[in-house]
Amino acid sequence: MTEALSMSIDRDHFEALAEGFYSQEETPLSAIQSLLESRLILAGDKYIWFEHELLLDFFKAQYLWRKADSPEHLANALSRPRNLHLVELDAPAVFDVTSLEAVLAKTHDAKTLGLALRGHCGPLATATIQKHCLALIELGVAEFSRMKVTCESIDGEDAGSASSASILAQSSRFPSMEFSSPEPLQKNLGDSAIQKAFLNLLELTTHVFSNWYDALRKEAGVV
């Protein structure tokens, strides 16, 4: 059993086996280097170690992808708790934007969506998540036009009074979005496009609140 299943293999033996396989399949030998750089194995000077649990996840992901007869079927399979961690492995195999969105929409895990944003699920997934994060920021910008600030005095028990300001949203109806959770956005502000859009939102927020403050001071007769 230990000869058939091992956590490691002699590196020279591994390279001989890999070269024989790639020669038989008429695949460029440069693919061996790509294999050595994958997360499925850890390459040392003398030995190669295998990530058996990750390999098992890879085979599970392949099984789900091959078994699914539609993007919706694959998305539903990946939405099950025991399969959520396989989204990262199945997403790169989906090359249609609509189908990919159906798959990614089934996960609300910020870590998985963050991995997709950082390129772990293929360039199409990165562009898709980034698009939805930017759209969420754009919604925040648009929502400012639907808000107003009111100021009122509240009588206290000691015959004094205090001023209170409240922000009222004229319309809080956000369009239905698959990736409406702000958590992936919050945890990936290092992305240059998202960072730029967020800084623009922050600048707008500061400007709008400053204008509201000035308007309230004038309304209250405060110079």
pTM score: 0.55
Q: With respect to residue 216, please indicate whether it lies within any of the assigned structural domains.
A: yes
Position 170 pLDDT exceeds 50: no
More confident residue, 25 or 188: 25
**Mean pLDDT, residues 52-63 taken together:** 84
- Are 33 and 124 within one domain? no
pLDDT of residue 157: 61
Q: With respect to residue 136, please indicate whether it lies within any of the assigned structural domains.
A: yes
Task: Give residue-wise pLDDT tens across range 58-90.
Answer: 888 888 888 888 877 888 888 788 888 888 888
Q: With respect to residue 79, please indicate whether it lies within any of the assigned structural domains.
A: no
Q: How confident is the model at residue 153 (pLDDT cuts 50, 70, 90)?
A: low
- Are 119 and 43 within one domain? no
Indicate the average pLDDT of the chain.
75
| Per-residue burial over 110-129, b = 16 or more CB atoms within 10 Å of its CB, e = otherwise | bebbbbbbeebbbebbbebb
pLDDT of residue 151: 61
More confident residue, 125 or 148: 125
Task: Give residue-wise pLDDT tens across range 203-220.
Answer: 888 877 787 777 777 776
pLDDT of residue 154: 58
Q: With respect to residue 187, please indicate whether it lies within any of the assigned structural domains.
A: yes
Q: With respect to residue 103, please indicate whether it lies within any of the assigned structural domains.
A: no
Q: Whole domain around residue 28: which residue ranges? A: 1-50
Number of domains in the chain: 2
Q: Which of 50, 66, 84 is the last residue of a domain?
A: 50
Q: How confident is the model at residue 5 (pLDDT cuts 50, 70, 90)?
A: low
More confident residue, 127 or 105: 127
- Are 29 and 129 within one domain? no
Q: With respect to residue 75, please indicate whether it lies within any of the assigned structural domains.
A: no
- Are 128 and 211 within one domain? yes
Q: With respect to residue 213, please indicate whether it lies within any of the assigned structural domains.
A: yes
Q: With respect to residue 91, please indicate whether it lies within any of the assigned structural domains.
A: no
